[in-house]
Amino acid sequence: MRSLSLLLVYLVVTLAEAASYKDGPFKVKESIVAPPRVWVEHAPAPSNHILELRIALPQPFSPLLEKHLLEVSDPSRKRYGDYLSKQETESFLSPHPHTIDSVSEWLASYGIHDDDLHSSAQGWVTVRVPVGLAEEMLGAKYHVYRHSETGEYIVRTTSYSLPEVLHDHVQFIQPTTMFARFRAFSSTLHWTTVPVNDASTSSTITGPAGNQVDASCNQTITPTCLRQLYHAVGYETSATNGNQIGITSYLGLYVNDHDLQQFFEAYVPAACGSNYTTVSINGGQNNQSIAAAGLEADLDSQYAFGLTYPTPRTLYTTAGSPPFDPDLHVPNNTNEPYSYWLEYMLSAENLPQTISTSYGDDEQTVPESYANRVCMGFAALGARGVSLTFSSGDYGVGDGDPNPETQLCFSNDGRNTTMFIPSFPASCPFVTTVGGTIYIPETAASFSGGGFSNYFPRPSYQDRAVSDYLSKLAPGTYEGLYNPDGRAYPDVSAQSDWFMVAYQGQFGYVGGTSASTPTFASIISMVNDARINAGKKGLGFLNPWLYSVGYAGLNDITTGHNPGCGTEGFNASIGWDPGESREAFHHLNKSS
């Protein structure tokens, strides 16, 4: 009798909630004062335009996941290297059953039933609805916005609401208030110019560990240069010990196999004819038309796959790009791609030990709720033993304008506060962020992104290093332009300019933190290879190790700065700094 009474109570509460979804009071869930200044309202969104709504359900056990991550990633802890299983991480990311029921009932009240849901893995629900229905469900008004510099169009709203009874069951819904573009971080492309610098007239240059580097590396970077500089000459990785490396590709930037083989033939002859595994996510492709070759994808693949050959390689190609053509009424206007990539990776049984990503955007264009959710997904991968490297960005302390003098460094919260512009996902505390250096001896690359997050507080693993840096700044330096209590980045750096690449059938130079990131990831992959050969686990989430004992294997960069927002930016100095941080390993074998 008691169980029947409880069932009746549950049914009464459920029916009451269902009735309140449409009739009850709506409350604003998220809003922004206005879109970022580069996005201009173009027209009301067509009511029949199809949106793919991603509904993030709260993950009440995620703080426990963060605790486990730090315990398995800190060399001073007993659990170091005791990574979690797929099932264990899923349990920490699961929403409460009542949350799933409540959201399902809300959707059903609009005629959307379980069969219409794309997924509910790791607390995501995906539905495809026309704009007209989305506006009714969210109490919102969608518009088409045009990017004033690129001419791209997206469909967004500046505010959306939900029934009050749902607020505790929905973390956020996108695409709504997100105006991020998520671009590749390849800042410079030079096909004919050769840099002029003070290279030695001798045939070699002495590196930071006494190693000899060809003098030509001060004009052209190749895999041989990087192996010489980072003391990996002669190290041969295994194809069979279980070690793997992955790279990500977004925004329709494809790895061209002809370019890859052309590069191998010139610079990594042993890799000629070797293949990689392609994984398609959310309809991602890898178009082999020479015209479809992506500079970013070619750069990432040629260096990550070339440096680590014959380690098994995987390309993750993920569809999802906000712009569309409003005149053609293209039916899809998808979200940015990270959430799709994470959903796939977290559900995969087998993961590479090292994954490199060279994409990002201004942190303030990403809603804080979204940034926190994606960052926690990165934490889950780290807890499973994956080393994630991300580019720090190519605009110094400024925004997406490559000219430091013309950057618009203002907050987009309606107050137009002058400020440095941090980058995301570089600002996530659960990834290793890679800045850039140039020349040998190395100095900070002026375009290398670095600074402090406005969303994420400074993590404990870097508290000492960052506090030491801040204590050396002159009082009042850049006061009010950055958040001294925020997560600081980059964590490391590596060579980042004058990389020789094969692109659309010809060779040329490319630079940016898109170059340093696969370089550093490749060195980490080699370290993981050495550890696995020695019967150890891979390094997993790197930062607690890097800031405690791993820094001993790094060379300190003490010259250069990263200008932006009309300032000189942060200077490179002794120890950690946001102007450059330390560079990649100066001795592979001693760092493992």
Number of other CB atoms surrounding residue 46 within 10 Å: 15
Per DSSP, the three-state class of 210 is: coil
Q: Within a domain: residue 90?
A: no
- Cβ atoms of 376 and 384 within 8 Å: the answer is no
Same domain, 116 and 138: yes
Out of 296, 361, 394, 497, which one is annotated catalytic? 296
563 shares a domain with 467: yes
Q: Contact, 528 vs 387, CB < 8 A? A: yes
Residues 24 and 44 in one domain: yes
Which among 583, 569, 571, 586 has a CA at the least distance from the CA of 516? 583
Distance between start and end Cα atoms, the chain: 64
Q: How confident is the model at residue 8 (pLDDT cuts 50, 70, 90)?
A: very low
HEC string of 219-263 equals CCECHHHHHHHCCCCCCCCCCCCCCCEEEEECCCCECCHHHHHHH
Q: Is residue 77 part of a domain?
A: no
User: Does 448 qualify as catalytic in the annotation?
Assistant: no
- Residue 370's nearest CA partner among 394, 337, 344 is 337
pLDDT digits (tens, 9 = 90+) for 453-463: 999 999 999 99
482 part of a folded domain:
yes
Contact yes or no for 93/62 (Cβ under 8 A): yes
d(C-alpha 99, C-alpha 148), whole Å: 40
Task: Tell me if 210 is assigned to some domain.
Answer: yes
Torsion from C-alpha of 511, 513, 292, 223, nearest 10 degrees: 70
Question: Does residue 194 form part of some domain?
Answer: yes
**Domain containing 53: what range?**
2-59+95-179
- CA separation for the pair 185, 579 (Å, rounded): 17
Q: Note whether residue 464 is domain-resident.
A: yes
Rounded Cα–Cα distance for residues 132 and 157 (Å): 13
22: helix, coil or strand?
Answer: helix
Least confident of 180-189, 190-199, 391-400: 190-199
* Judgement on whether residues 254 and 388 belong to the same structural domain of the protein: yes
- Token duo for residue 128: 């495809």
Q: Which of 279, 54, 270 minimizes the C-alpha distance to 174?
A: 54
DSSP letters for 134-154 = HHHHHT---EEEEETTT--EE
Identify which of 426, 502, 9 has the alpha carbon closest to the alpha carbon of residue 223.
502
Which residues, listed in sequence order, are joined to residue 41 by a DSSP beta bridge?
Answer: 145
310 and 439 share one domain: yes
Residue 78 domain-assigned (yes or no): no
Instruction: Provide mean pLDDT across the span 290-308.
Output: 95
What's the confidence (pLDDT) of residue 197? 47
pLDDT at 588: 53
Please indicate if the annotation marks 557 as binding a ligand. Answer: yes
In angstroms, the CA 345 to CA 338 distance is: 10
Residue 334 has pLDDT above 90, yes or no: no
Q: Are residues 116 and 237 in the same domain?
A: no
Q: In this model, does residue 435 exceed pLDDT 90?
A: yes
The pLDDT value given to residue 252: 85
Please name the residue that has the structure tokens 């996108």.
Answer: 174
Of the residues 300, 343, 399, 442, only one is catalytic, namely 300
- The answer to whether residue 331 scores a pLDDT higher than 50 is no
Helix H or strand E segment including 26: strand 26-31
Same domain? For 161 and 114 the reply is yes
Among the candidates 127, 153, 179, a domain finishes at: 179
The three-class DSSP label of residue 217 is helix
**568 lies in the same domain as 458:** yes
Q: Which of 115, 146, 179 is the last residue in one of the domains?
A: 179
Per-residue pLDDT, 592: 53
Strand, coil or helix: what is 556?
strand
On whether the CB atoms of residues 446 and 561 are closer than 8 A, the answer is yes
User: Lowest-pLDDT range, 84-93, 178-187, 489-498?
Assistant: 178-187
Lowest mean pLDDT among 364-368, 375-379, 381-385: 364-368
Window from 22-31, 273-282, 335-344, 366-375 with minimum mean pLDDT: 335-344
- Which of 179, 195, 228 is where one domain is finished? 179
Q: Are 309 and 523 in contact (CB under 8 A)?
A: no
- The pLDDT score that the predictor gives to residue 195 is 46
Evaluate if residue 584 carries a pLDDT over 60: yes
The arithmetic mean of pLDDT across residues 552-581, rounded, is 89
> Would the pLDDT of 198 be above 80?
no
Give domain status of residue 315, yes or no: yes
Q: Can you tell me the mean pLDDT for 7-35?
A: 69
By the 10 Å C-beta count (0-12 exposed, 13-18 middle, 19+ buried), 474 is classed as: exposed
Catalytic annotation, pick one of 161, 391, 446, 514: 514
In a shared domain, residues 511 and 579 = yes
Regarding whether 197 and 173 lie in a shared domain, the answer is no
8-state DSSP, 487: E
556 appears as a binding residue in the annotation? yes
Q: Return d(Cα 177, Cα 172) in angstroms, integer.
A: 10
Q: According to the model, what pLDDT value does residue 21 have?
A: 73
Per-chain mean pLDDT for the chain: 88
pTM: 0.92
Average pLDDT over residues 540-551: 96
Which residues in 62-171 belong to E strands, given as ranges? 124-130, 143-147, 153-156, 159-163
Does residue 447 register a pLDDT over 80?
Answer: yes
Give 586's pLDDT tier (boundaries 50, 70, 90): low
User: Worst-scoring range by mean pLDDT, 62-71, 116-125, 208-217, 293-302?
Assistant: 116-125
Domain count, the chain: 2
Do residues 210 and 107 both lie within one domain? no
Joined tokens for residue 502: 């094969």
Task: Give residue 129's pLDDT.
Answer: 93
296 a catalytic residue: yes
Residue pair 117/125 in contact (Cβ under 8 Å)? The answer is yes
Asked whether the beta carbons of 18 and 109 are under 8 A apart, the reply is yes
- Do residues 162 and 304 both lie within one domain? no
- Catalytic site includes residue 41: no
Q: What is the CATH number of the domain that holds 432?
A: 3.40.50.200
Measured at the alpha carbon of residue 347, what is the angle toward residues 114 and 523, in degrees to the nearest 5?
150
Q: Which residues contact 420 (CB under 8 A, 6 or more apart)?
A: 397, 398, 409, 451, 452, 478, 481, 482, 564, 565
Under 8 Å CB-to-CB from 327, ≥6 apart: which residues?
Answer: none
